[in-house]
Amino acid sequence: MTRDPRFDVTTTTTCGYCGVGCRLEAHQHGGHIVSISPALDGPANRGHTCLKGRFAHQFTRSRDRLTAPFVREHGTLRLASWDEALDRVASEFQRIKAEHGPDAIAGLASARGTNEDAWAMQRVMRAAIGTHNIDNCSRVCHSPTSFGLRKSVGLSGCSGSFDDIEHADVLLIVGSNATAAHPVAGARMKQAALAGAKIITVDPRRNDLSDVGALHCGLRPGTNAAFLNGLTHVLIRDGLVDREFVRSRVEGFEGLADLVAYLTPDVTEELTGVPAADVVRAAHIYGEARTGSIAWGLGVTEQLYGSECVQMLCNLALLTGKIGRAGCALLPMRGQNNVQGVSDVGALPDTYSTYRSVGDDATARLFEERWGVPLRRERGLKLPEMIDAALAGKLKAMWICGYDIGQSDPDSAKVEAALANLEFLVVQDIFENLTSREAHVLLPAASFLEKTGTFTNAERRIQLVQAAAAPPGSAKTDLEIFSLVSERLGHPLPYRGPEDVMLEIGALTPAFAGVTYERIGRGGLQWPVAADGTDTPMLYAESFALPGGKGRLAALPFKPPGDEASEQYPLILVTGRRLEHYNVGTMTRRTGNLELLSHDVLEIHPDDAAAHGIADGALVEVRSRNGSIQLGAHVTDRIEAGHVFTAFHFPEVRTNLLIGQSADINTSCPEYKVVAVAVTPVAVHAGAARGHAVVA
Ligand code: SF4
């Protein structure tokens, strides 16, 4: 902590919104956070923040904050003491475990929480309860990134750093609206373009980076694979492959070359809608550049073949040798602040920390020895499987921490029914939300500004989080709550505080061997971190983290998406984020950002608006095979004809009622980005176009 004469205390911490991981100075006065400014030495933000990190802190003192536990009695929630609430949690888990076995209980860790929180929760689930039923929200965002990177290059993380943005001659940005969803990284990309870097955006919707870029490829939703394989075709056809790199560092070239042979620019145009000349141009801009980085977001991952498309992005870097050196990074734009870390430390049903299989005997024995309990070798349930099991009556209890699946997960009506079918639901959060409506116990938690630990940003950088204020009322940190529950379950956690947790992570995880809070300091550490504290800003300079050390080119064909337009549902809905709000808006809707953006709209192209009789500002009904919602229309040519766009920040709209069950074939990540819908005007009096949900 440092002293600033204008404030009682100033604390350096890390932003709790997105995966850029900006370092912040949180200024406290009278016990409250009153202002936040950027840390000038933050490695990712270099003295900048966006309007979320800088201004969206008033939620900490919102009157809606949960400040005491609640328990359900005779159908309603009432205030309870911590002892009563925790005893209820422990006794219900013990009862259900005794009656139905440990796999009748499941937990969801929060990607907003710290690495230490996630580690503690997965330990409680595995060691105290005895199940691998633990997952987190990466399941519905970047699990395909993790899968694809591990297949192609070996490790589940960015291959370099955000600093590679400034060293790249070309930035290929696919399915990512970086200036809205990752604003500080997006601003660095924009600056790079203004300094001469060529940006290629690939997205059904133009964004700010398209405006400063060299080329925008407005492809049809669900056709990423055709486009990426089409680029590969041109790279090979036109001699833009780094032959020596491929010969010495990569395997699988022949199979890939055979596969993409038919995907000429004309065929690619037919499949994607991107003009053949632009396919050729994109391949040449990327292939001819000395350095180039590839960034991608949920527009790649949240599709039926998202994990395969991540492998296709890796193909481009491997073919051209644009990996393992400055300016040549694979940059997944991870969504929530700690979605990278919560997965790295093993809050997943099939892997311990750093993605080591729960079925691997040697790894499991390490954990058994340290924790003093036998551990199962069969994987647990993924989040969508938990929902199905709850609906089927096989899953009896859930413990959901800092994750509003009622608003954010697909097919919201199904999620709601699953939660209602549970015998026992514990929700641990900072506010009530759509998920907590079904809770039997509600535990008040501390926000990121009220706790200590670490987050890992999108560039694998482990950074310190430090409490800048006390939690409100009797709210406790997640780590405290996990410790209290675990003790009641007969498995006391041996941690005196968060740093002890990190030391245990390091003891059981070679890639975290040298991580200490002192070494993390103000600059962070990018894993793998050797025992002497040496970190790894750049991966794959010499070899890939795969058996044999070679990168793997993936020969994967284009296949159509899970949903497609029809006469009944003629438009394709793509969902995404807005600059002013974050995810389900729980925090940002309780700040001044609500004045900047108070409701959501459906963006629709002028041609489609005219064809469907929709005026700008009119209330419309959006109907999919799954459900329907109503909201105001915004007629704009930012979006390609045939598509519509909205976000999911507002519970009164509940966009995710529209999303069906289609999901990535390898990871079960839902296909949020390709949903066939019909849009029709709704007759209402003027000024009523705000939006609400209609459950089908
Ligand atoms: Fe926070 Fe992301 Fe904004 Fe940085 S860019 S201040 S990490 S929300």
Residue-level pLDDT at 693: 43
Average pLDDT on 363-368 reads 98
Residue 673 has pLDDT above 80, yes or no: no
Q: Tokens 């980005």 label which residue?
A: 673
pLDDT computed for residue 669 by the predictor:
79
**The two three-digit tokens of residue 313, written as one number:** 């992005």
State residue 60's pLDDT score.
Answer: 85
Residue 474, pLDDT score? 97
| Pocket probe mutation, ligand 1, options 36, 40, 45, 162, max atoms within 8 Å of Cβ | 45
Probe residue for ligand 1, chosen from 46, 50, 583, 587 as the CB with the greatest number of ligand atoms within 8 Å: 50
Which residues, in sequence order, are CB contacts of 420 under 8 Å at separation 6+? 438
pLDDT at 668: 79
Identify the residue whose tokens are 């933000």. 45
Checking if the pLDDT of 271 tops 60, the result is yes
Confidence bin at 684 (pLDDT 50/70/90): low
Of the candidates 24, 338, 48, 43, the residue with the CA atom closest to the CA atom of residue 164: 43
What rounded mean pLDDT belongs to the chain? Answer: 92
| The pLDDT value given to residue 604 | 94
Residue 686: band (very low, low, confident or very high) from pLDDT cuts 50, 70, 90: very low
As beta bridge partners, residue 538 has none
Q: Ligand 1 centre and the CA of 24: distance in Å?
A: 9
SS3 label, residue 529: coil
Measured in angstroms, how far is the CA atom of residue 22 from the centroid of ligand 1?
Answer: 5
Q: How far apart are the first and last CA of the chain?
A: 52
CB atoms near residue 387 (< 10 Å):
25
Average pLDDT over residues 241-267: 98
Beta strands in 433-522 (DSSP E): 441-444, 453-456, 461-465
Ligand 1 surroundings by CB, under 6 angstroms: 15, 17-18, 20-22, 45, 49-50, 52-53, 182-184
Distance (Å, rounded) from C-alpha 395 to C-alpha 383? 12
Query: Does residue 3 carry a pLDDT above 70?
Result: no
Ligand 1 atom at minimal distance to the Cα of residue 24: 6
User: Does the pTM exceed 0.85?
Assistant: yes
Q: Is the predicted pLDDT of residue 688 greater than 60, yes or no?
A: no
Shortest-distance atom of ligand 1 to CA 44: 4
Mean pLDDT of 157-163: 97
Angle at CA of residue 489, ends 351 and 354, nearest 5°: 15
How far apart are alpha carbons 425 and 406 in whole angstroms? 13
Placement of tokens 């065929």 in the chain = 267
Inform me whether the pLDDT recorded for 695 exceeds 50: no
Q: Which of 136, 137, 157, 175 is nearest to 21 (CA)?
A: 157
Confidence of residue 254 (pLDDT cuts 50, 70, 90): very high
9-51 confidence digits (pLDDT tens): 999 999 999 999 999 999 999 888 999 999 999 999 999 999 8
Per-residue pLDDT, averaged over 585-611, amounts to: 82
User: What is the residue with the minimal CA distance to atom 6 of ligand 1?
Assistant: 53
- 52: CA distance to ligand 1 center in Å? 6
Which of 12, 13, 17, 24 most suits a substitution to test ligand 1, by most atoms within 8 Å of the C-beta? 17
pLDDT at 468 over 80: yes
Q: Which atom of ligand 1 is nearest to the CA of 38?
A: 6
Residue 622 has pLDDT above 80, yes or no: yes
Rounded CA Rg of the chain? 24
- Residue 1: band (very low, low, confident or very high) from pLDDT cuts 50, 70, 90: very low
232-254 mean pLDDT: 98
Beta bridge partners of 647: 576
Q: How far apart are CA 70 and CA 598, in angstroms?
A: 30
Instruction: Determine the pLDDT at residue 383.
Output: 94
Lowest mean pLDDT among 76-85, 315-324, 559-568, 659-668: 659-668
Cβ partners under 8 Å of residue 447, min gap 6: 16, 59, 60, 430, 471, 587
Question: How many CB atoms within 10 Å of residue 328?
Answer: 26
Average pLDDT rounded to a whole number, residues 272-297: 98
Assign 663 a pLDDT band (cuts: 50, 70, 90): confident
The share of the chain scoring above pLDDT 90, in percent, equals: 78
Residue 292 or 671, more confident: 292
Please tell me the distance from the alpha carbon of residue 486 to that of residue 72, in angstroms, as a whole number.
21
pLDDT at 579: 67
Mean pLDDT of 230-235: 98
3-state per-residue secondary structure call for 224-264? HHHHHHHHHHHHHHCCCCCHHHHHHHEECHHHHHHHHCCCC
Distance (angstroms) between ligand 1 centre and the Cα of 345 equals 22
How many helices (H) and strands (E) would you count in the chain? 25, 29
- pLDDT, tens digit, 9 for 90 and up, residues 394-438: 999 999 999 998 887 778 889 999 999 999 999 999 999 989 999
Q: What mean pLDDT comes out for the span 332-357?
A: 95
Contact (CB, 8 A) for 218 and 174: no
The pLDDT of residue 584? 67
Closest protein CA for atom 1 of ligand 1? 53
Q: Which of 273, 285, 291, 274 is nearest to 163 (CA)?
A: 291
- How far apart are the CA of 682 and the centre of ligand 1, in A? 37
Output the pLDDT for position 305: 85
Among protein residues, the one with the nearest Cα to ligand 1's atom 2 is 18
Query: Highest-confidence range of 87-101, 572-586, 645-659, by mean pLDDT?
Result: 87-101
Residues 6+ apart with CB under 8 A from 70: 77, 78, 79, 80, 85, 439, 441, 442
Mean pLDDT of 238-264: 98
Among candidates 204, 48, 215, 102, which has minimal Cα distance to 576? 204
Among the atoms of ligand 1, which is closest to the Cα of residue 16?
Answer: 1
Q: What's the CA-to-centroid distance between 369 and ligand 1, angstroms? A: 40
Residue whose CB lies within 8 A of the most ligand 1 atoms, among 52, 162, 190, 333, for a mutation test: 52
* Atom of ligand 1 lying closest to residue 49 CA: 6
The full set of domains in the chain, from first to last, is: 70-141+337-433+448-526 (3.40.50.740), 143-332 (3.40.228.10), 571-689 (2.40.40.20)
- CA distances for 664 relative to 147, 354, 559, 594, angstroms: 11, 22, 12, 33
Q: Give the number of the atom of ligand 1 that is nearest the alpha carbon of residue 337.
A: 7
Lowest average pLDDT, out of 99-108, 217-226, 543-552, 670-679, goes to: 670-679
Comparing 294-303, 433-442, 457-466, which segment has the lowest mean pLDDT?
A: 294-303
Looking at the DSSP bridge assignments, the partners of residue 174 are 202, 296
| 583: pLDDT strictly greater than 90 | no
Q: What is the pLDDT of residue 581?
A: 64
Cα atoms in the Cβ-side hemisphere of radius 13 Å centred on 179 = 15
